[in-house]
Structure 1
Amino acid sequence: MNVSFYTLLGIRINALTIPALNSLIAEAVERNQKWIIANHNLNSLHIYHHDPKMQAFYAKADYVHIDGMPLVLLGQRLNLPLKREHRVTYADWVWPLMAEAAQRGWRIFYLGSKPGVAEQGASILREKFTGLEITTAHGYFDICPDSPENQAVLAAIHAYQPHVVMVGMGMPRQEHWILDNLEHIQANAILPSGACIDYVAGAIPTPPRWMGRLGLEWLHRLGSEPRRLWKRYLIEPWFIAKLFLREMWTQHTRAR
């Protein structure tokens, strides 16, 4: 599958829709490849510019989809060929992804969430998608590569032989874990997936989908978890604005 990369505010992204992402996973499985399919939003953009390990992770990523309508809108302002359907968040993608997995027989290993939450979400998915093979492990363990807990997680993944590993431990913890353990993760697609299963399980309220399409999902999340997310949504965007204005100025001067 031929997929173009674009540079936006110092990061590398792909213009990928949900069907295109599912097709990438199918291709990875058919070709027996191991691909990291990462994502970027405003939070990851901020972390990326302040965390060398996050930069190393994205350098390893094979594809990077957009998880945040603000990035689509900023890209459009910078003349990139981005559309609303190129914004793919797991709250939307998890359902067609699991439908595809059930249909094609992909085994899913989900690592993340609090103890019990991931399995609760997996039970909901198994009930909805007949034949879905999914197993889980919680994300509350010592992630040091040599720790007994981490080694047990890797052993569980190896024993299950999944086609897809989803890591939902929040940014940048999930990306750091993938980077540290990449050589030992046997899977065709590795997906850093944030609070994906938490939404399915109802542990975190899912924002109304119309808010996502309008780029207002952040407002719902801020209202749901103000103490945890106030800095992400009220402070970090000022750094993004500085990057955007700098890039706008660069384009302007080049066009003169």
Structure 2
Amino acid sequence: MNETESPSQNIKLAPPIAILGVPFDMVMVSQTIDIIGKMIESHRPHYLVTANANFVAQASEDVELRRILFDAHLILCDSTPLVWASRWLGNPLPERVAGSDLAPLLMRAAEEKGWRVFFLGTKEEVLQRAEEKLRAKHPRLQLVGHLSSPFASLLEMDHESICRAIKEAKPDILLVALGCPKQEKWIYMHYRTLGVPVSIGVGGTIDFLAGETPRAPMWMRNAGLEWACRLAQEPRRLLRRYMTNLWVLSSRLLAQWWQLQVRRRRHAARYHRLMVVAEKTEAGFEQVKIPPRFDAAVVREHEWLWKCFVTSPAHLLVDMASVEFIDSTGVGLLIWLHKSLTASNCHFVLVSPSLVAKQALDRMRMPQLLAVAPDLDTAKNMIMERSRDIHAIATLDLSPAPKPLTWHGEIVTSNVEAVKHLTESYMECCVAKPKRIAVDLAEVRFIDSAGVGLMLRIKKQGRLRDMDITFLNPRPNVLNVVRALHLEQYLFGESKQGSQ
């Protein structure tokens, strides 16, 4: 297996299905344990997401959370209603894979295979009880540490000491119980530097392991009614969430079902089964032309082609001009290709999508995260510009009348230290000049919580040095992430009019 190959690719899986833009993998619990084993054998960092209905509802409004899902190595469906929805959308998920069902099986496998386990989150007494119960049931299980995280916002956590404790323990599996979306954002910030082979956000699962919260009876779980049991246990906390989820998911799922399933049946006679056409355009570029119908059947028929794109990665241009119908599996494949090629440092661009394709992608809020170009030449130029952004994350202008410092591309965990170094160098050079520094964000496509944390530190450093640090022209994606962290007013104040 090469360095960019996902362990899940070594197990034959059906194409993923995109439900409201979330690409759920077609796995059962037993397959999930096998995939986790391959991840551990690889000794490379991965993270898994167990997504329930609340998770999907939050992701529909949170750009960073959607990006985390796009980049996840495996997405498990922890919701019976979403399993039902997959049937309506034409590509049924095999079963619900709940974190609370997966964890006990994972602990048993960890004991058998000698995997080292670390817990992060929830209360200290709950962690201790969970460890006591697990040691009694699995005497040879290697529980190498736990850490209770005090209540604090994501950016206020003591990230350095937490990461140091985890690195010293050298676990194979890290279970993070900070609640959604905080746990997923924390994992996304640190999984690469921690080097833990498998990190999973598990929500309240550690409470179940400790016996702190009883699970629903088996008949309720099998009937998809576990949510009712949880609601009876915590009505004040969960009633409003469940009502919001019901409204958001039912309305949007109905719209997705109508557009991507009913439309196909009403106009089935118009669609002809045509082959996907792939060709090389020039060195470093591949082009694929999608036929008028792009559904689960077409995706499965051309499985060999998608594997070729991933095993021999190159920049991929996907011509969608002829698309008259695309279903949830077609969208899921596009996300999977984007994820796989991005992991190989290649770019993925949708070219000239038809009106039908645009409507389907807009319905799932895909254009916020997928690159879209009106024609082939624009797509190639976009790839060239984004390739340059990787090497030029910030532009310094130290002339006598300097322009604002300009950040480029994506400001994320993997490059935040480099951006920090350049920005602090710029601040040092401006000490003797008027103490007003502007950072232009107009060319920043995306920023994650680590990037927002950098903005926060720079703003605070400026105040300590009596400097006025101003961030200008944030794009909607950047504003979305900052708003989710409740820092819009502090970071932008009245300066965000340039983004409107």
**What TM-score do you get using the length of structure 1 for normalisation?**
0.93
Alignment of 1:155-194 (within 5 A): 155-194=164-203
Give the conservation status (yes or no) of the 8 Å contact 1:145–1:151. Answer: no
Displacement after TM superposition at 1:109 (Å): 0.8
Give the conservation status (yes or no) of the 8 Å contact 1:40–1:64. Answer: yes
Displacement after TM superposition at 1:10 (Å): 1.9
The equivalent of 1:19 in structure 2 is 30
The equivalent of 2:381 in structure 1 is none
The CA deviation string for residues 35-91 of structure 1, in whole angstroms up to 9 with x for no partner, is 2111211100100001112112112201101101111011111111323xx201122
Q: 2:75 aligned with 1:64, yes or no?
A: yes
Matched residue type, 1:9: L
Matched residue type, 1:24: I
Query: Does the C-alpha gap of structure 1 residues 212 and 125 become closer, same or farther in structure 2, counting only changes over 3 Å?
Result: same
Which structure 2 residue ranges, 5 or more long, are not aligned?
A: 1-10, 268-500
Which structure 1 residue ranges, 5 or more long, are not aligned?
A: none
Q: 2:264 aligned with 1:254, yes or no?
A: yes
Alignment of 1:1-256 (within 5 A): 1-3=11-13, 4-83=15-94, 86-134=95-143, 135-140=145-150, 142=152, 144=154, 149-250=158-259, 251-255=261-265, 256=267
Secondary structure at 1:116 match in 2: helix
Matched residue type, 1:157: I
> What's the RMSD between the two structures over aligned residues?
1.6
Larger radius of gyration: 2
Measured in 2, the distance between the counterparts of 1:104 and 1:77 equals 39
Displacement after TM superposition at 1:143 (Å): 5.7
The CA deviation string for residues 184-205 of structure 1, in whole angstroms up to 9 with x for no partner, is 2221111111111101112222
Greater relative contact order structure (CA < 8 Å, 6+ sep):
1
Displacement after TM superposition at 1:173 (Å): 1.1
Give the conservation status (yes or no) of the 8 Å contact 1:78–1:248. Answer: yes
Give the conservation status (yes or no) of the 8 Å contact 2:103–2:205. Answer: yes
The alignment of Structure 1 onto Structure 2 pairs a total of residues equal to 253
Sequence identity (%): 28
Displacement after TM superposition at 1:139 (Å): 2.7
Deviates more, 1:26-35 or 1:137-146: 137-146
Segments of 4+ moved more than 3 angstroms = 141-147
Displacement after TM superposition at 1:145 (Å): 5.6
The CA deviation string for residues 147-196 of structure 1, in whole angstroms up to 9 with x for no partner, is 5x321110011001110111111111111111222332221111111111
Measured in 1, the distance between the counterparts of 2:228 and 2:159 equals 35
Give the conservation status (yes or no) of the 8 Å contact 2:44–2:195. Answer: no
Matched residue type, 1:100: A
The CA deviation string for residues 8-30 of structure 1, in whole angstroms up to 9 with x for no partner, is 22211012111111101110111
Query: Does the C-alpha gap of structure 1 residues 234 and 171 become closer, same or farther in structure 2, counting only changes over 3 Å?
Result: same
Give the conservation status (yes or no) of the 8 Å contact 2:231–2:239. Answer: yes
Measured in 1, the distance between the counterparts of 2:244 and 2:202 equals 23
Measured in 2, the distance between the counterparts of 1:17 and 1:136 equals 28
Give the conservation status (yes or no) of the 8 Å contact 2:120–2:177. Answer: yes
The CA deviation string for residues 92-151 of structure 1, in whole angstroms up to 9 with x for no partner, is 22211100000000001111111221121121111101210112111325465685x321
